[in-house]
A and B are shown apart, each in its own frame.
Chain A
Amino acid sequence: MAETILWVLRGSERESARWIEYRVTTEEGMVVLDALHWIQAYLAPDLAVRWNCKAAKCGSCSAEVNGRPRLLCKTRLSDFPEGEAISVEPMRAFPLIRDLVTDVSWNYRVNARMAPFDPPKDAPEEAWRWQQEDIERVQEFRRCIECFLCQDVCHVLRNHETENEFAGPRYLVRAAGLEMHPMDQGDRLSYLRSDAGIGYCNITKCCTEVCPEHIKITDNAIIPLKERVADRYYDPIRIAWRKLRGESEPGEPSAPQT
Chain B
Amino acid sequence: MTEIEPRSHDVLIIGAGGAGLRAAIAAAEAGASVGLVCKSLLGKAHTVMAEGGIAAALAHVAERDSWQVHFRDTMVGGKLLNDPRMAEIHAREAPERVRELERWGAVFDRTRDGRILQRPFGGHTHPRLAHVGDRTGLEMIRTLQDRAVAAAIAVYMECTITHLGMTDDRVSGAIGYWRTDGRPAVFPAKTVVLATGGVGRMYEVTSNSWEYSADGHALAYLAGAELIDMEFVQFHPTGMVWPPGVRGLLVTEAVRGEGGILRNSDGERFMWKYLPDARRHEYAETDEEATRWVEALTEGRQTDARQPPELSTRDNVARAIYTEVKEGRGSPHGGVFLDISYLPSDRVRRKLPSMYEQFLELADVDITKVPMEVGPTQHYMMGGVRVDAETGATTRPGLYAAGEVAGGMHGANRLGGNSLSDLLVFGRRAGTAAADAARAERVMPQLSPVQVDDALAELEAPLTRQHGEDPYRIHEELRATMQSLVGIYRTETELDEALASIADLRRRWDEVRVDGPRIFNPGWDLVFELRNMLLVSEAVTRSARMRTESRGAHSRLDHTLTEQAWEHLNVVVSPDGPGMRVETTATVAMTDDQRLLASKG
Residue numbers of A with Cβ under 8 A of B are 12, 27-31, 33-34, 40-41, 45-60, 74, 76, 97-99, 101, 103-105, 108, 111-112, 116-117, 119, 128-132, 135, 138-139, 142-143, 145-146, 178, 181, 184, 257-258
User: How long is the Cα–Cα vector from A53 to B146 in the complex, in angstroms?
Assistant: 21
User: How long is the Cα–Cα vector from A22 to B519 in the complex, in angstroms?
Assistant: 21
A-B contact pairs, 12 of them (CB 8 A): A40-B472, A46-B524, A52-B46, A57-B354, A60-B40, A76-B361, A98-B517, A104-B41, A108-B157, A129-B110, A146-B43, A178-B105
User: How long is the Cα–Cα vector from A58 to B211 in the complex, in angstroms?
Assistant: 13
Known: A46-B521, A51-B210, A132-B110. 18 other contacts (CB 8 A): A29-B244, A34-B245, A41-B472, A45-B471, A45-B514, A46-B514, A46-B522, A48-B520, A51-B209, A52-B209, A53-B48, A53-B49, A101-B520, A103-B180, A129-B113, A142-B138, A143-B135, A257-B152
Q: Do A53 and B472 contact each other (CB < 8 Å), given the known contacts A27-B243, A28-B243, A116-B149?
A: no
In the bound complex, do residue B115 and residue A97 qualify as a contact, i.e. CB atoms below 8 Å apart?
no
Residues 443 to 471 of chain B near chain A (Cβ within 8 Å): 470-471
Residues 224 to 252 of chain B near chain A (Cβ within 8 Å): 242-246, 249-250
In the bound complex, do residue B519 and residue A142 qualify as a contact, i.e. CB atoms below 8 Å apart?
no
- Beta-carbon nearest neighbor of B361 in chain A: A74
Interface 1/0 per residue, B238-280 and A, CB below 8 Å: 0000111110011000000000000000000000000000000
Q: Do A56 and B358 contact each other (CB < 8 Å), given the known contacts A48-B520, A51-B210, A129-B113?
A: yes
Contacts of A101 in B (CB 8 A): 180, 520
Interface 1/0 per residue, B137-150 and A, CB below 8 Å: 11100100011011
User: How long is the Cα–Cα vector from A101 to B363 in the complex, in angstroms?
Assistant: 27
In the bound complex, do residue B42 and residue A30 qualify as a contact, i.e. CB atoms below 8 Å apart?
no
B342 within 8 A of A: no
In the bound complex, do residue B363 and residue A29 qualify as a contact, i.e. CB atoms below 8 Å apart?
yes
Contacts of B324 in A (CB 8 A): none
- The smallest beta-carbon distance between B137 and chain A, in angstroms, is 8
B132 within 8 A of A: yes
Q: Do A45 and B519 contact each other (CB < 8 Å), given the known contacts A53-B209, A54-B209?
A: no
Interface 1/0 per residue, B38-73 and A, CB below 8 Å: 001111111011000000000000000000000000
Question: Could you tell me how many residues of chain B have their Cβ less than 8 Å away from some Cβ of chain A?
Answer: 63
In the bound complex, do residue B523 and residue A46 qualify as a contact, i.e. CB atoms below 8 Å apart?
yes
In the bound complex, do residue A45 and residue B515 qualify as a contact, i.e. CB atoms below 8 Å apart?
yes
Q: Do A45 and B245 contact each other (CB < 8 Å), given the known contacts A108-B42, A130-B114?
A: no
Partner of A12, one of B250, B514, B519: B519
In the bound complex, do residue B521 and residue A52 qualify as a contact, i.e. CB atoms below 8 Å apart?
no
Residues 98 to 152 of chain B near chain A (Cβ within 8 Å): 102-105, 107, 109-110, 113-115, 132-133, 135, 137-139, 142, 146-147, 149-150, 152
Contacts of A30 in B (CB 8 A): 243-245
Q: Do A29 and B110 contact each other (CB < 8 Å), given the known contacts A46-B522, A98-B519, A181-B105?
A: no
- The smallest beta-carbon distance between B421 and chain A, in angstroms, is 19
- The smallest beta-carbon distance between A171 and chain B, in angstroms, is 12
User: How long is the Cα–Cα vector from A209 to B104 in the complex, in angstroms?
Assistant: 31
In the bound complex, do residue A132 and residue B109 qualify as a contact, i.e. CB atoms below 8 Å apart?
yes
In the bound complex, do residue A111 and residue B110 qualify as a contact, i.e. CB atoms below 8 Å apart?
no
Contacts of B133 in A (CB 8 A): 139
B557 within 8 A of A: no
Contacts of B150 in A (CB 8 A): 116, 257
User: How long is the Cα–Cα vector from A138 to B102 in the complex, in angstroms?
Assistant: 13
User: How long is the Cα–Cα vector from A184 to B106 in the complex, in angstroms?
Assistant: 12
User: How long is the Cα–Cα vector from A74 to B246 in the complex, in angstroms?
Assistant: 11
Contacts of A138 in B (CB 8 A): 107
- Beta-carbon nearest neighbor of B139 in chain A: A142
- The smallest beta-carbon distance between B10 and chain A, in angstroms, is 20
Q: Do A145 and B138 contact each other (CB < 8 Å), given the known contacts A48-B520, A48-B521, A52-B44?
A: yes
Contacts of B244 in A (CB 8 A): 27-30
User: How long is the Cα–Cα vector from A51 to B210 in the complex, in angstroms?
Assistant: 8
B362 within 8 A of A: yes
Q: Do A55 and B358 contact each other (CB < 8 Å), given the known contacts A29-B242, A40-B522, A97-B519?
A: yes
User: How long is the Cα–Cα vector from A74 to B149 in the complex, in angstroms?
Assistant: 29
In the bound complex, do residue B110 and residue A130 qualify as a contact, i.e. CB atoms below 8 Å apart?
yes
In the bound complex, do residue A112 and residue B472 qualify as a contact, i.e. CB atoms below 8 Å apart?
no
Contacts of B45 in A (CB 8 A): 52
Q: Do A58 and B102 contact each other (CB < 8 Å), given the known contacts A29-B243, A34-B245, A258-B152?
A: no
Partner of B149, one of A34, A58, A111, A129: A111
Partner of A139, one of B132, B146, B476: B132
- The smallest beta-carbon distance between A180 and chain B, in angstroms, is 10
- Beta-carbon nearest neighbor of B519 in chain A: A98
Interface 1/0 per residue, B353-381 and A, CB below 8 Å: 01001100111000000000000000000
In the bound complex, do residue A55 and residue B105 qualify as a contact, i.e. CB atoms below 8 Å apart?
no
User: How long is the Cα–Cα vector from A130 to B107 in the complex, in angstroms?
Assistant: 10
In the bound complex, do residue A48 and residue B519 qualify as a contact, i.e. CB atoms below 8 Å apart?
yes
- The smallest beta-carbon distance between A21 and chain B, in angstroms, is 18
Q: Do A50 and B249 contact each other (CB < 8 Å), given the known contacts A57-B48, A58-B48, A132-B110?
A: no
In the bound complex, do residue B48 and residue A40 qualify as a contact, i.e. CB atoms below 8 Å apart?
no
Contacts of A128 in B (CB 8 A): 102-103
Contacts of B577 in A (CB 8 A): none
In the bound complex, do residue A116 and residue B146 qualify as a contact, i.e. CB atoms below 8 Å apart?
yes
Contacts of B132 in A (CB 8 A): 139, 142
- Beta-carbon nearest neighbor of B244 in chain A: A27
In the bound complex, do residue A99 and residue B48 qualify as a contact, i.e. CB atoms below 8 Å apart?
no
- The smallest beta-carbon distance between B247 and chain A, in angstroms, is 10
User: How long is the Cα–Cα vector from A50 to B357 in the complex, in angstroms?
Assistant: 22
Contacts of A145 in B (CB 8 A): 48, 138
User: How long is the Cα–Cα vector from A54 to B247 in the complex, in angstroms?
Assistant: 11
Identify the 10 closest CB pairs spanning chains A and B, nearest first.
A29-B243, A46-B516, A129-B114, A117-B105, A45-B523, A34-B245, A48-B520, A116-B150, A52-B209, A132-B110
Contacts of A130 in B (CB 8 A): 110, 114
